[in-house]
Amino acid sequence: MRRTMGNLPPKLHDVAHEPGLVVPAADGSALLSDHYFPLAAGDFPTVLVRSPYGRGFPWAPMYGVHLAEQGFHVVLQSCRGSGGSGGEADLWRNEAADGQATVAWLRQQPWFTGVLGTIGASYLGYVQWALALDPPPELRAMVVQVGLHDLHAFFHPGGAFSLETALTSTMGRLSQHQGMKESVRAALRLQRHMGKISRTLPLGEVYAAGLGGRVPYLEEVMAHPDPADPHWHGADAGVAAERLTVPTALITGWHDALLDQTLQQYARLGRAGCDASLLIGPWTHNSAPGGPEALTASLAWLRAHLCDDPADLRESRVRVHVGGRRTWHDLPHWPPPATDRRWYLGSGGTLRDRAPEDTAAPLSFRYDPADPTPSVGGPLLSPKAGSRDNTALEARDDVLTFTTAPLTEPLDVIGPVRAELRVTTDTGHADVFARLCDVDDRGRSVNVCDGLRRLHLTEDGPAEVTVDMSATAHRFAAGHLIRLQISGGAHPRFARNTGTGEPLTTATRLQPSEISLHHPSALALPLADADFDARGPAH
């Protein structure tokens, strides 16, 4: 397993393994757990990892073996209904209670010293927030890697259904705990059917072929797009961060599908006065947790707070990778001081610092859900994630582009990005997808960050619409151009807007939409202060 990971630090201890231990949940369900521990005399703190994706690869080498070699007891547990554990699998309703029951079991183990940490990626981060809703006194540290706290926002970001992410994550949840062979088989099946799923209605029926059958919880997710719906009661564990005192390390990537949730967690922890660190790299959701920077930061955080050994802990609490420069930057907090600057959308595809006259003609395009604007790169769960060449996408008639003149000097953008638009649509139902791109001196346009917002417009005149485009730390080099894309979707990353207002699962009709941008509409970028370079280049 060490050879599989490849970038683990030298081991300090040989490791032993107790597989298949039974941890009783509060309702008596058996939660199967593997115990990894150092073969050495002395007391060692414990790290708890809870997963619905099985206890094998990659969790066993990345957490079990690696951390036990470094001097920790590690309990790697399968969530209920997965990996041989009893009980019914559920998206969220049992995680807090099952986490507490596991801590109660730990208290009975002769090797447990009363010093506990947690670690995990993606949904393995969600279970940490669930435990932190009522943190046990033994909990001394958390490491949340590309983690989520809000399940509604995971499935319905910006109000649109995150189709590709929902199918990919559901496929993993259904198959990965059954072993590598079944996981690969399920991934290939979804890949074979994705084209048909993305072209065929109603979505509530056609999706099943890609997952080997109907999935009730996914149908419930699709049928309840409103975050205020009682269906989602208790699904957002992020309230834990508002009062947490447990030191927490957050790790994400600029192209992580859960970047926004991680930044929300950091902001909440900051308001609570909790000791928190933030590491953002040039990573996707899949590449971030196992990278050497993430592994080093995670281990340093656990050693500092569980072993009273802060020797390897970064002095600065925030470290971000600056795209375009390919350098790391240390910061005292996120976001750092910045000055908002607006570039206004103009005729002829221009981006300028002065707004056109209000009487200038609106800028319009036609979105046809029968030929939806495709998604290219960005924050996905698949290998297609990340920065990609947008040239072919921008050649489509349903994608408007607005571009600055070549920059005369470098421009550092750091912080949340947004598009401030005045929008009308003839159907009242439309999506607005906005993407920031860096265009180099060869004309290659590469995506930096983006966002989508689903609209239900009823007023006659233009609606004031802000599209939050996530956040970035990126340098636009001298001679490069800043570009803003505006389109009506990014399919199949987001389920296409049918234009009819029909419910997602049962919609059968497609209605093209005319979407118009009225003046003044603008791209708002946070520009780094003049002392950005002096304040924090990382070495």
In a shared domain, residues 258 and 402? no
Q: Name beta bridge partners: 145.
A: 121, 251
* Distance, CA of 88 to CA of 79 (rounded, Å): 10
Instruction: Say whether both 314 and 402 belong to one domain.
Output: no
What is the pTM for the complete model shown?
0.96
User: Is 425 in the same domain as 296?
Assistant: no
Side chain identity, residue 477: A
Q: CA torsion, points 324, 330, 331, 332, in degrees to nearest 10?
A: 170
Question: What torsion do the CA atoms of 151, 152, 154, 160 make, to the nearest 10 degrees?
Answer: 170
Q: What is the pLDDT of residue 8?
A: 66
Structural domain includes residue 538? no
Angle at alpha carbon of residue 195, lines to 194 and 200, rounded to 5°: 100
533 within domain boundaries: no
Q: For every one of its 539 residues, what pLDDT tens digit does the chain have, with 9 covering 90 and above?
A: 556 555 667 899 999 999 999 999 989 999 999 999 999 999 999 999 999 999 999 999 999 999 999 999 999 999 999 999 999 999 899 999 999 999 999 999 999 999 999 999 999 999 999 999 999 999 999 999 999 999 999 999 999 999 999 999 999 999 999 999 999 999 999 999 999 999 999 999 999 999 999 999 999 999 999 999 999 999 999 999 999 999 999 999 999 999 999 999 999 999 999 999 999 999 999 998 888 899 999 999 999 999 999 999 999 999 999 999 989 999 999 999 999 999 999 999 999 998 887 678 999 999 999 999 999 999 999 899 999 999 999 999 999 999 999 999 999 999 999 999 999 999 999 999 999 999 999 999 999 999 999 999 887 889 999 999 999 999 999 999 999 999 999 999 999 999 999 999 999 999 999 999 999 999 999 999 877 775 556 65
In a domain, 534, yes or no: no
Phi then psi for residue 382, to 5 deg, are -95, 170
Query: In terms of DSSP bridges, do strands 248-255 and 276-284 run parallel, antiparallel, or are they unpaired?
Result: parallel
Looking at residue 11, which CATH number applies to its domain?
Answer: 3.40.50.1820
In a domain, 95, yes or no: yes
pLDDT value, residue 386: 96
**Residue 525 zone, left/alpha/beta (φ > 0; ψ -120 to 50; rest):** beta
Alpha-carbon torsion (375, 377, 379, 385), positive or negative: positive
Instruction: Let me know if residue 157 belongs to a domain.
Output: no
Beta bridge partner(s), residue 119: 143
Cα 518 from Cα 347, distance rounded (Å): 11
Domain boundary among 312, 331, 350: 331
Give the DSSP per-residue string, 418-485.
EEEEEEEESSSEEEEEEEEEEE-TT--EEEEEEEEEEEE--SSS-EEEEEEEEEEEEEEPTT-EEEEE
Q: Please state the length of the chain.
A: 539
Residue 24 to residues 54, 86, 95, 241, 505, Cα–Cα distance (Å): 18, 9, 13, 27, 38
Q: Which are the contacts of 2, defined by CB distance < 8 A and separation ≥ 6?
A: 8, 11, 61, 65, 66, 69
Q: Tell me the residue range of the domain where 403 lies.
A: 338-497+507-527
Instruction: Assess whether 192 and 295 both reside in one domain.
Output: no
Last residue of a domain, one of 272, 307, 331: 331
Token readout for 138 is 């033994």
Crossing angle (nearest 10°) for helices 180-199 and 163-175: 150
Distance CA 258, CA 277 (A): 17
The answer to whether the CB of 123 falls within 8 A of the CB of 54 is no
What CA–CA distances, in Å, run from 15 to 11, 28, 33? Answer: 9, 30, 16
Is residue 28 located within the same domain as residue 126? yes
Residue 360: predicted pLDDT: 82
Domain membership of residue 502 (yes or no) is: no
Task: Assess whether 490 and 395 both reside in one domain.
Answer: yes
The span from the CA of 523 to the CA of 516, in Å, is: 16
Domain boundary among 308, 331, 354: 331
The reply to whether 73 and 176 lie within a common domain is no
Sign of dihedral through CA atoms 4, 8, 14, 19? Answer: negative
Cis previous bond, 335, omega within 30? yes
Of 227, 249, 270, nearest in space to 147 by CA: 249
Spatial contact of 486 and 517, defined as CB atoms under 8 Å apart = yes
Are 24 and 15 contacting, i.e. CB atoms less than 8 angstroms apart?
no
Instruction: Answer yes or no: do 248 and 127 share one domain.
Output: yes
Task: Note the pLDDT of residue 47.
Answer: 98
Pairwise CA distance, residues 243 & 307, whole Å = 24
What pLDDT does 5 receive?
55
Cα angle value 51/254/248 (rounded, 5°): 50
Q: Supply the pLDDT for residue 289.
A: 87
Dihedral angle of Cα 501, 505, 508, 510, to the nearest 10 degrees: 50
Looking at the DSSP assignment, which residues form a beta bridge with residue 236? 150
Q: What is the 3-state secondary structure (H, E, C) of 12-49?
A: CCCEEEEEEEEEECCCCCEEEEEEEEECCCCCCCEEEE
Can you tell me the distance from the alpha carbon of 47 to that of 116, in angstroms, rounded to the nearest whole number? Answer: 6
Phi-psi region of 23 (alpha: psi -120 to 50; beta: other; left: phi over 0): beta
Tokens of 96: 């807090």
The number of folded domains in the chain is 3
Kindly state whether residues 354 and 482 are assigned to the same domain: yes
Which pLDDT does position 161 carry in this prediction? 98
Instruction: Quote the pLDDT of residue 10.
Output: 86
Residue 379 sits in the same domain as residue 492 = yes
Give the CATH number for residue 407: 2.60.120.260
Task: Indicate whether 140 and 13 sit together in one domain.
Answer: yes
Local structure of 284: helix, strand or coil: strand
48 and 97 share one domain: yes
| DSSP letters for 399-434 | EEEEEPPPPSS-EEEEEEEEEEEEEEESSSEEEEEE
535 assigned to some structural domain: no
| Token pair 């390897």: residue | 312
Q: Which residues contact 152 (CB under 8 A, 6 or more apart)?
A: 227, 232, 235, 236
Q: Is residue 64 part of a domain?
A: yes
